[in-house]
Amino acid sequence: MMSSSTSPPRTKAEIAELLGARDILPTAQRVELAALLLATQQHLSAEQVMSRAKIAGLVVSKATVYNTLGLFVERGIVREVIVDSARVFYDSNTDPHYHFYNVDDGTLGDVATVHVPIEQLPTPPAGTVTTGVDIVIRIRNRP
Amino acid sequence: MMSSSTSPPRTKAEIAELLGARDILPTAQRVELAALLLATQQHLSAEQVMSRAKIAGLVVSKATVYNTLGLFVERGIVREVIVDSARVFYDSNTDPHYHFYNVDDGTLGDVATVHVPIEQLPTPPAGTVTTGVDIVIRIRNRP
DNA sequence: TTAATTGCAAACATTTTGCAGGTTC
DNA sequence: GAACCTGCAAAATGTTTGCAATTAA
């Protein structure tokens, strides 16, 4: 199984291939948004994605940014991070890991799973299955 | 230090006292909302609080529910739980613990900290301090 | 009586949706 | 050419706010 710690796809062809592998029709907007998102390991809100797209000269509407981010989450291209009721963050690192969330900045940082060794997980309630474990370490700038 | 696992305050006088201890003026709406919230250990969204208040025959506006929940969070009467981008949950259990989140139901369950033994926490980035650790175990109903 | 609180409605921010026009295979 | 995608604007959600009327100490 390939890890997203592999160096990011660089060419549009590589990105188109990556999208195709997840049954995503690689339209111009999707390829460019994926290129933007996957360029580095990062955590961006939808609004940040839009502003970076605009800065990069991309022609994408707000609706398409939201639709595309939703599709990318559904297909495992990026991961949703829920730490703040005000907005969703999209994480280009889909490998298992946890997060620091700076409530002063509104910025996210990665925490490798090895840094939070968990001895055991509780059994989920009867009739349910565990689909994931999210750990958020909330931090503040020191006064 | 008192734990919220103590049996809940029952009388309005007890609740008023509890609010007063946190420098919250115990108005009728606040006392009734606190009584509703603290009756048992539970996880309610603002909308659920409003609907239960209405069912209980309370006279409270939406603005007051939101203002009061915000105040209660700030003063440690209840705790915010962020697991879903669509709404905030308010947890009447303020003792340290983690959560199951059933994404099918939108329901929360408690997980005692002893059930997720963490050997160590990572050092927060320079210039920051850790203010809390949230763990959410996402579950789904078995197919 | 003076400050604090409430309620209503309007404002907000984020995200979703309907639909006409454009694109892809 | 059939299915799918995009963009605009409007709608939907959940939450916050301005302000006049009410209540608390």
Q: CA distances (Å), B51 to each of A49, B61, B88, B106, in order?
A: 37, 11, 15, 16
Q: Cβ of A116 and B121 within 8 Å? A: yes
pLDDT tens-digit profile of A120-131? Answer: 899 999 999 999
Note the pLDDT of residue A88. 98
* Residue B132 forms contact with A (CB below 8 Å): yes
Q: What is the mean pLDDT of chain A?
A: 94
Q: What is the sign, positive or negative, of the torsion defined by CA atoms of B69, B71, B74, B77?
A: negative
Supply the pLDDT for residue B126: 96
- The Cα B36–Cα B15 span in angstroms is 11
Taking the C1' atom of every nucleotide in all shown strands and the CA of A33, the nearest one is D6
**A117 phi and psi, to 5 degrees?**
-65, 125
For residue A10, the model assigns a pLDDT of 77
Whether any strand D atom is under 7 angstroms from the Cβ of B51: the reply reads no
Mean pLDDT of each 10-residue bin along chain B, 143 residues long: 60 93 97 97 98 96 98 98 97 97 96 94 96 97 90
Concatenate the DSSP letters of all residues of B92-143 into one string: S--SSEEEEEETTTTEEEEEEGGGS-BS--PPPPTTEEEEEEEEEEEEEE--
User: pTM of the prediction?
Assistant: 0.93
Q: What is the pLDDT of residue B12?
A: 87
CA–CA separation, A116 and B85 (whole Å)? 25
Cα separation of A32 and B101, whole Å? 34
Residues 65-124 of A with CB under 7 A from strand D: 67-68, 85
Q: Which domains does chain B have, with CATH numbers?
A: 12-88 (1.10.10.10), 96-139 (no CATH)
Query: Residue B8 gets which letter from DSSP?
Result: P
Contacts of A129 in chain B (CB under 8 A): 139-140, 142
pLDDT band at A2 (very low <50, low <70, confident <90, very high): very low
* Residue B96 forms contact with A (CB below 8 Å): no
Q: How far is the CA of A67 from the C1' of C17 (A)?
A: 11
pLDDT at A6: 60
